[in-house]
Structure 1
């Protein structure tokens, strides 16, 4: 792409959305969490805060800037950093549970750090010792990593035009990304780009770098406040220290794929939990009985009672599969082999498939059992279905069933990539 084409491309993106928020350099050190129990405790406390105003943020499409600061300063964004580097080194099961807890309160906030965790895991697997020391320290101090992975308009979501080229002994990065969840809030943007050798790499770029542009143009009907819009790279000079190989994470057995997917699965589990909790609260407070019934309250309706019981069973099944998948991912992390990684991928695919269906079911039943009044905009209850449906499109569940069935029926190991 020529310099003029890049300029026109960037100008088109800038006119399509809102100005990106200003993210000031971090002013204080984040709290450092020491173990799994502390991570769960802090997540539960923050979820109570984030639930307040979730409907309003969704309605106004308001970016949760203050909430994200609270989230990262709490230390929860660094809980996956290994103990050897000063982190809590929590289990995948704990990381998934933290994500589900936050997502039950506000699934946009729950999704935002997914790529931060992903990039830290990529560093653990493929970064040099110097890169790990540097970027793990920054994450422990409270710096946030943002995603610039997928592009719009390519043949598939894993086709990349964004690239860095060698010019006179220096590397220059050019391209444009969409679905860049987390980048609007990030101190460091991580771009997925092809290098001169055609391999896919991760390129770590400080937010203040000249040539790095952001556009708040995410207009989806769900996950409205994730800020998953456009990021542009205009002839950004990068050094080898900023570049980490990404293809290597999948060329050999590593937990990279199931690690990424268990966090997405946890977002769906969280939405299902949140919708069920909202159903119980709303029906108890507002639902009226059907006029054919001689009862006083909507929560005495036998069909509603049966329906809530059915949803509760399914939500609890998704909870159990999430915990199970977390333990299997932990085993694959401790001893990565073709078999253990495949088992982890399948276990995560199982919870993702079920949780995706349950989240949409719970969100639909919330409106059904709540009655006509529950559709009023002031309640914002439709956000659970919109969020579940939107987030489910990250990677198609229909392919989860295919790989699960092929694994159990034919003994075929699933492919290794970030969507499985």
Structure 2
């Protein structure tokens, strides 16, 4: 078969993807070697992000472009691979990847392209905390406010950030303009004057993720740091922008799934190595337990992979996305999150009954931190309402 520019480009893309996945596996092996010690130390992820940057993963996990970035499917595979070895670092990488899409979700095409090229060139680490659309809950006023000045704005307030708050290069947040009431999405370098970082301490799990609070005192925001306006309600939100929140939830599903897979793999290795309460041998009850846990993990994988494929198709569609499609995507993501959370908590608790080894409890602690603040019953009701009525607002509530 003759080689054409299209087939050559396809082969080149495949080769780049395989190389990226090999790099991810190498980094995962490196992280797994000292994961327990780093979890116990609970320090900010300075060393961990240096490993990601040195391996090129921060530059690689940006939106796909000409000879740069990673498509959604590949990015999620990398996130899960890292999360299985160290879920805190997987969490950092997941939020980095999704927030690196912020330009496409909120800004103009030209601004997004320029931002992504700079991010790759300078190997930025992204994090952030953009609030969901829930105006009815905002009884105490905004925690971040912008005041216009001759050029740009002045930003004041505080915001909790779940990862890399002390080591990120860009923090993406939304803030309310005190004059117009518009909600603007902006990016803030943590090194900017007036930014104070307060790391979270003594967390139950995800201790190396680098969570904390960012306090902003009269921080200058230039026009170039304003990514765009976030509408107040779902009805006025552009379809592609509406993918921002479910994209983050789905990336975190891959982190949670990585936790379940990592816990199951570690327990299996302990059983094979004789460091378990019951040795493999011919114990039918042990086979039954592992069969149950492996099936739960594989079921969650199937649901997450389906949501990932649908999300990838929606992201590929871009500005041509139909107005009704984001609701269907969000419903699948909410389903994936529900199934994965249940499976991960079950698997990580059961492996503690199978093996006795230091650090095995970290999987349950990490899964608990990532899933505790999203009520399953509320999400199931919202999924059911969408299934019956096709309600767009119901799905928005499901991922809140």
Q: Give the TM-score of the pair, scaled to structure 1.
A: 0.81
> Is the Cα–Cα contact under 8 Å of residues 328 and 343 in structure 1 kept in the other structure?
no
2:225 matched residue in structure 1:
242
Are residues 1:221 and 2:201 paired?
A: no
Q: Map 1:148-297; keep pairs closer than 5 Å.
A: 148-149=129-130, 160-167=142-149, 170-195=152-177, 196-248=179-231, 251-254=237-240, 255-284=243-272, 285-289=274-278, 297=279
1:4 matched residue in structure 2:
none
2:293 matched residue in structure 1:
311
**Cα distance between partner residues in 2 of 1:157 and 1:354:** 32
**Cα distance between partner residues in 2 of 1:398 and 1:110:** 26
**Cα distance between partner residues in 2 of 1:231 and 1:306:** 48
**Cα distance between partner residues in 2 of 1:82 and 1:60:** 33
> Is the Cα–Cα contact under 8 Å of residues 87 and 206 in structure 2 kept in the other structure?
yes
TM-superposed CA distance for 1:210, in Å, is 0.9
Are residues 1:57 and 2:46 paired?
A: no
Are residues 1:324 and 2:301 paired?
A: no
Name the CA shift for 1:253/1:394 in 2 (closer, same or farther; >3 Å): farther
Gaps of 5+ in 1: 1-31, 290-296
Deviation sequence 1:364-409 (CA, Å, 0-9, x none): 1111112xx44xxxx1111111100111135333333122222223
TM-superposed CA distance for 1:225, in Å, is 1.1
> Is the Cα–Cα contact under 8 Å of residues 80 and 89 in structure 1 kept in the other structure?
yes
Gaps of 5+ in 2: 1-12
Name the CA shift for 1:331/1:56 in 2 (closer, same or farther; >3 Å): same
Cα RMSD (Å) of the superposition? 2.8
TM-superposed CA distance for 1:361, in Å, is 0.9
Name the CA shift for 1:202/1:394 in 2 (closer, same or farther; >3 Å): farther
**Cα distance between partner residues in 1 of 2:17 and 2:373:** 28
Residue 27 (structure 2) aligned to one of 27, 46, 66: 46
Name the CA shift for 1:309/1:418 in 2 (closer, same or farther; >3 Å): closer
**Cα distance between partner residues in 1 of 2:375 and 2:59:** 29
Q: Give the TM-score of the pair, scaled to structure 2.
A: 0.85
> Is the Cα–Cα contact under 8 Å of residues 34 and 88 in structure 1 kept in the other structure?
no
TM-superposed CA distance for 1:227, in Å, is 1.1
**Cα distance between partner residues in 2 of 1:398 and 1:158:** 26
